[in-house]
Structure 1
């Protein structure tokens, strides 16, 4: 099964272009910052979950 990485990236890029093509520079900056903040929150949730799972496994080893 081949991953169509180029196609996936193009689709993402095209989606964001359509979403932001009428934005001013300030609006683009706010958009990017908003996406960045959401990504950081999501990664912290994942990291917290991973930390909990690892500590649970370590507890089982004791």
Structure 2
């Protein structure tokens, strides 16, 4: 079970890093909107990470 939790955390972090790196590329006019999009996506990943940890805790107990 510990391996599954570690894998979920690693995959989530890799997805977050990939999103941030890909979000920085694009049109110059889109750069202003990208900062807002990246911060919204980052919050989604943070909330999702917390939800996953809570779900695992509920599942285990």
Q: Normalising by structure 1, report the TM-score.
A: 0.50
Give the number of aligned pairs: 33
Aligned counterparts of 2:30 and 2:40: Cα–Cα separation in 1:
15
Matched, 1:46 2:51: yes
Which segments of 5 or more consecutive residues in structure 2 lack a partner in the other structure?
1-28
Q: Of 23, 30, 36, which aligns to 2:35?
A: 30
Q: Which runs of 4+ in 1 moved over 2 A?
A: none
Q: Normalising by structure 2, report the TM-score.
A: 0.51
Which segments of 5 or more consecutive residues in structure 1 lack a partner in the other structure?
1-23, 57-62
Q: Which has the higher contact order (CA 8 A, sep 6+)?
A: 2
Query: Rg larger in 1 or in 2?
Result: 1
Aligned counterparts of 1:30 and 1:49: Cα–Cα separation in 2:
29
